Amino acid sequence: MRYFYDTEFIEDGRTIDLVSIGIVAEDGREYYAVSTDFDGSKANAWVRDNVLDKLPNPQLEVWKSLNTIRQEVYEFLTKTKTKPELWAWVGAYDHVVLAQLWGDMTGLPRALPRYTRELRQYWDMAGRPTLPDTPEGNHDALVDARHNVEKFRVCENVLPLDKRGRVEKRL
């Protein structure tokens, strides 16, 4: 099962704190949460203007503790019997933020992948086909995760993958 995700975070070159996470499963399920545990005063101007100012009302149920997010993300990613395959656009930081929900890398549950597949690299390999326009509300983790699904589909039409996530052989 493929999962397309995005995170928004605050980082200072040493630490990365989750602000929000959005995940879209290829079966159509979605997950979205905003952390109640980040310190917005540590955000740089770009994050304040492009992420924090777009967050939903703090009274909404999407605001959750990191403990709750960790439990719900695990349940979401392991709901099916197939091993999750993670995809993100320039996803190195996204993977670190996701993995740090469990502490250091040794705490990441065995059921979860140790890496995120790189959608930006897949796009390059597919010959940089024209992608859908950036949606209204980008830098909202769920909006961006949905956009990742669209970008993946464009790439897959040009450069199909087999069930193992490998480029299909061409004659």
Residue list for the binding site for Mg(2+): 6
Residue list for the binding site: 6
* Alpha carbon distances (Å) from 156 to 103, 116, 122, 153: 34, 17, 9, 5
Q: How far is residue 68's CA from residue 84's CA, in Å, rounded to a whole number?
A: 20
Q: How far is residue 114's CA from residue 136's CA, in Å, rounded to a whole number?
A: 32
